[in-house]
Amino acid sequence: MDKYFDMSGRAVLVTGASSGLGRRFALVLANAGAKVAVAARRTDRLQNLVDEIGDSAVAVEMDVQDEASVIAGFDAAEAALGPIDSVIANAGMNSQGMAVDIAAEEFSRVFDVNVKGAFLTAREGARRMIAAGSKDSGRGRIVLTASIGAFTVLPGLAGYCASKAAVLQMGKVLAREWAGKGVNVNIICPGYIETELNTGWFASEGGQRQIAGFPRRRLMEESDLDAIVAYLASDAARAVTGSVFTIDDGQSL
C-alpha cells in the first residue's frame, strides 16, 4: 500500500463488517497496516473475517441501534487493540417498496439503523478520540457511508434515500462541531455495487434494466472504494473534513 494510505499504528473500528462493504473495508485497512475491530450483530460471521485477517483483528458484537451495545463494543475493541483512532460507520439496511405500501415501523427501522446507528457510532468514537488527545494529535478519523441515494431520486426507496440524505448532512454537522478537536468526519456516497442486500434485484429483469440505464451499463466493484476509504481513515487526510465523496462510476449522471 502506498505511503499515503499507510495505516500502521492505527486502530480502526468498522461497523457492518459481517458482509458486503464493511467486510471489504476491514480487509483493506488491515492490509494497509491497521489493527481492526470488526463489529456487527452476527458475530459468527465476524469470526471468519478475523481468521482471514489474523492477529491484528478482533470481533466485537455491536447493535448500532442500541447505545449500550455501541459503548460495550468500543470497550471490547479498545481492550483488545488500544485506543480507536479511526471509525468507519458503515452499518446500514435497505427497505424496498413504494411509499404508499411501506409500514411505519419499517420506515422507522431504516432510520434507526442508518441514521441513529451512524450517529451513535460516530459520537462514541469521537468522545473517545477527544478524550485520548485528538485535539493535539489531529489523528481522529470518522468515515460515514451514505449513498448516491442521498441526492438521487430512487423510486421505491423513500426511507433509504431519506436516511442517507440525513447521514450526509449529519456528517457535515459533526465535522463542524469536531473540527477544532482533531476529529475529521467525511462522507462517502457509493453507487450501486452488488452485495447481499441487492443481488436478487440485479439478477431480475428490472435490475437488468436499471443496469442498462447507467451511462457505463455496469455495476461498480467493491474494490472501487478501497483507495478512498484507506485515504480518509489515514494520516494523509489531515486537511480533509466535512467533505462528501461520490464514487459511483457515473451512475448518478
Burial class (CB in 10 A: 0-12, 13-18, 19+), 180: exposed
133 within domain boundaries: yes
**Quick one: how far is CA 173 from the chain centroid?**
17
- Which of 85, 40, 31, 70 is CA-nearest to residue 58? 40
With 80 as the cut, is the pLDDT of residue 53 above it?
Answer: yes
Q: Which of 32-46, 67-81, 194-208 has the lowest mean pLDDT?
A: 194-208
120 within domain boundaries: yes
Q: How far apart are CA 7 and CA 71, in angstroms?
A: 24
Residue 22 belongs to domain with CATH number: 3.40.50.720
- Give me the mean pLDDT over the 49-63 stretch: 97
What does the mean pLDDT of the chain come to?
95
Please name the helix (run of DSSP H) or strand (run of DSSP E) that holds residue 51, with its range, or none.
helix 43-53
pTM, to two decimals? 0.95
198 within domain boundaries: yes
7 within domain boundaries: yes
Q: Which residues contact 44 (CB under 8 A, 6 or more apart)?
A: none
Q: Is 92 helix (H, G, I), strand (E, B) or coil?
A: coil
43 within domain boundaries: yes
The count of structural domains within the chain is 1
- Which of 212, 213, 211 is CA-nearest to residue 199? 211
208 within domain boundaries: yes
User: Considering Cα of 218, then 222, then 227, then 231, what sign does the dihedral take?
Assistant: positive
- Catalytic residue, chosen from 4, 160, 192, 231, is 160
Q: Annotated catalytic, 4?
A: no
Cβ pair 86, 129 in contact under 8 A: no
252 within domain boundaries: no
Render pLDDT for 212-224 as a digit per residue (tens, 0 to 9). Answer: 999 999 999 999 9
Domain that holds residue 17: 3-247
With 60 as the cut, is the pLDDT of residue 1 above it?
Answer: no
What is the amino acid identity at position 90? N
Rg (CA), the chain: 17
Q: How far apart are CA 170 and CA 20, in angstroms?
A: 23
253 within domain boundaries: no
